């Protein structure tokens, strides 16, 4: 099942996406559902919206946080000259960093080196704390695609990553939440990132140093996760810089493609950017 958050000139709604490749009776449409699928039981309303007419939004706006994992692929750690950490290296992105498909990544004025990082994201479906790896499947609602956008030139000088990885628009998510993968299946998917159509990353989630279940066990050992919280599981090798005017697309097996264009910070006024982010939420 693919759960989308979308709008058609009005307030955000949720729906179930049916693609032509499914060979179902309603190809390339969204079956509208009532309520929030992360908070309550939902029902189909009977309304269908053509996918081409819908504006896809970030499939989830985390109620509290995005927890991201750094250096979870050995080749990526090596390409940046870093050692693989002895324990998972985690950090937070605020929910104000989240944007959806086709929303602009605003190149921050304080950086001259902004990088893409294609990642598998885990969407949490229930309140959870101290979850053993053996029960990690029980707390997962589904998966989506993420771009852990990073101001690379600020990671080192700042001595921590709040600004480098937490600035507005630094966490694109989408295009929808895929809920049919088991935790084992999600651990063997291909992540492909292109920049202006040129392939930059192509690696399997099977190469994670610490798999999804172990990450959930570790993260919930120190913080409570809430429904709608998101875990970014790390990026494979091939990360690189992007500049205003370029377009980055990330695809994961069976999960669609997340595409965002990079724009300069002065391409829109602060008020316009703030209004656009508010509409997303």
pLDDT of residue 82: 87
Q: What is the DSSP letter of 73?
A: B
Domain map (residue ranges) of the chain: 1-54, 64-262
Residues of the chain with pLDDT under 70: 268-281
Strands 66-70 and 230-232: parallel
At the second CATH level, the architecture of 1-54 is: Roll (2.30)
- Kindly compute the dihedral angle of the four CA atoms of residues 272, 276, 278, 281, in this order, to the nearest 10 degrees: -170
The domain covering 64-262 belongs, at the CATH homologous superfamily level, to Fumarylacetoacetase-like, C-terminal domain (3.90.850.10)
Block residue for tokens 């179930």: 16
> Residue 57 — φ and ψ, nearest 5°?
-105, 175
Q: What is the DSSP letter of 54?
A: -
Block residue for tokens 């694109």: 172
The span from the CA of 268 to the CA of 281, in Å, is 19
> Strands across the sheet with 240-242, in order?
150-151, 114-116, 240-242
């Amino acid at each position: 099942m693919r759960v989308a958050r979308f709008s058609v000139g009005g307030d955000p709604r949720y729906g179930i996406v049916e693609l032509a490749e499914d060979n179902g009776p309603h190809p390339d449409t969204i079956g509208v559902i009532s309520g929030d699928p992360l908070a309550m039981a939902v029902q189909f309303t009977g309304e269908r919206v053509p996918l081409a007419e819908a504006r896809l939004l970030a499939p989830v706006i985390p109620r509290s946080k995005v927890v991201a994992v750094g250096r979870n692929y050995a080749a990526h750690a090596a390409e940046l000259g870093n050692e693989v950490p002895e324990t998972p290296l985690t950090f937070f992105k605020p929910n104000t960093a989240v944007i959806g498909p086709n929303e602009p990544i605003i190149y921050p004025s304080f950086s001259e080196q902004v990088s893409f990082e294609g990642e598998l994201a885990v969407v949490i479906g229930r309140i959870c704390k101290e979850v053993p790896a053996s029960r990690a499947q029980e707390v997962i609602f589904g998966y989506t695609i993420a771009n852990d956008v990073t101001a690379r030139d600020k990671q080192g000088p700042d001595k921590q990553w709040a600004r480098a990885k937490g600035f507005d628009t630094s966490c694109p998510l989408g295009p929808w939440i895929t809920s049919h993968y088991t935790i084992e299946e999600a651990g063997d998917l291909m992540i492909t990132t292109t920049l202006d159509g040129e392939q930059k990353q192509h690696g399997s989630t099977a190469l994670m140093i610490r798999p999804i279940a172990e990450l959930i066990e570790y993260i919930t050992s120190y913080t409570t996760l809430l429904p709608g919280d998101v875990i970014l599981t790390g990026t494979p090798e091939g990360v690189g810089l992007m500049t205003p005017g370029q377009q980055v697309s990330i695809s994961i097996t069976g999960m669609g493609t997340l595409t965002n264009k990079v724009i300069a910070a002065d391409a829109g006024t602060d008020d316009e950017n703030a209004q656009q982010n508010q509409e997303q939420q």
